[in-house]
Amino acid sequence: MKPHPLAGALLIAGTVPIKDFPLLLGKAEREGDFLLVDGQRIPCTQGTAAMVTAAVAALDYLNLDPPMALLAGDVGEGRGSRAIYDFLSRELREFSPKVLSLHYLLPIITPMKKVISAVQGCNPRPVLIADAGSMYAAKAAGLATEFDVFTPDAGEMAFLADSEATHPAYIKRYLFEADSKEVPRLIGQAYGCGNAAQTLLVKGVVDYIARNGEILETVREPDVPQMEAIGGTGDTITGLVSAFLQAGLEPHEAAIIAAKANRMAGKYANPTPATRITEIIARFPEAFKDHLCEWSGVCTVESRLRPATGGARQGGEA
């Protein structure tokens, strides 16, 4: 059977904060401070747009095909989220992306279960990432272990460690009050109660990369505390992880390099709490150029960062 023309792609699915924005599937590109998907311009602000734009920047640098974005408008009432859940449940088996990243979606359990059922029907099964509302839904549905990577911040890590909570607003007070030094304990608790993906990238003062309960690495430098206040800095990390997975890295490798690259781009942007996420994304090429070779151990796309089948572009170099 002829493969679907989009098979093997990185697919990022999430909502955008534009009411009545239709369900849209298309190639993602960057145009100044806008994300461009199938000709539609979307402001690159916090959320799915920041995540997709970060992935665009990384795949462009790696000379690989851009990500596909599945978007729908949703300002919290849930219509766009449901349209995305429904589309994925219905179409994913035909599509079979190489990497599927789920992002800002209303955390609702039953539709998430249907999506995971569709993922299980894909051949090959895509690498599966969740952040934001999708991660909340995955945890609340008891499906965390179906995922390859979660990218929680420290507060969301407390949510994953709380066996009962179905949203970070309802976590136990002592877990909310846990400081950053207690993140390893929270990681252990989350794995212990089956609420963690196989790989966790916990974003915070110190970034923790854990696999199946074991902390493999911490990333502390450069230390740019202002980044926590900037909407979208967590989204860009998840976009980078997605891109590096698409390029062929193992989940823990992708997580470590994404954490380092996000911090370095932040440093280069010399941010304040008023900095916009586009200013940090604009620094990714510089951070990659200066450090990707050192971080990934080898320095060409062909020798290590393998493209997806049919995904390599002609020309250019990493």
Partner 1 sequence: MGLFKDKSSSRGRGLTLFKEVKEALKAEKILKVSGYEVKLAAPPPSLRKGCDLAIEVDLMGQAGVERVLRQNGVEFDRIVSIDTEELEPLRVVKVTDFGDSMMVRAGNMKVAFEKATGIILNVSGGGCPDVPYLHLELLNKKITEAPRPCELGFTLCALMLDRALDEGVRIYEEARG
Binding interface with partner 1 (CB under 8 A):
15-17, 43, 45-49, 74-82, 104-111, 131-136, 140-141, 153, 155-156, 159, 162, 164-173, 176-177, 225-226, 228-234, 272-275
Q: What is the largest CA-CA distance in the chain?
A: 55
Cα torsion at 73, 79, 84, 85 (round to 10°)? 160
Nearer to partner 1, 38 or 170 (CB): 170
Neighbours of 55 (CB within 10 A): 28
Rounded to whole angstroms, the Cα distance separating 171 from 168 reads 5
Q: Which is nearer to partner 1, 98 or 113 (CB)?
A: 113
Q: Where are the alpha helices (DSSP H) in the chain?
A: 48-61, 79-95, 109-120, 132-140, 154-161, 173-176, 183-192, 233-246, 251-269, 277-281, 284-296
* Distance separating alpha carbons of residues 157 and 168, to the nearest angstrom: 9
Which amino acid does the sequence have at 231? G
CA 318 to centroid of chain Cα atoms: 22
CA–CA gap between residue 20 and residue 140 (Å, rounded): 28
Smallest distance, partner 1 to C-beta of residue 278, A: 13
* C-beta closer to partner 1: residue 71 or 292: 71
Of 29 and 153, CB closest to partner 1: 153
Minimum Å distance from CB 298 to partner 1?
Answer: 34
CB of 120 to partner 1, least distance (A): 18
Considering the complex, what minimum distance in angstroms separates the CB of residue 144 from partner 1? 14
Is residue 96 within 8 A of residue 4, CB to CB? The reply is yes
Shortest CB 160 distance to partner 1, Å? 12
| Residue 171 beta carbon to partner 1: minimum distance, rounded to whole angstroms | 7
Closer residue to partner 1 in complex, CB, 81/246: 81
Residue nearer to partner 1 on the CB measure, 125 or 167: 167
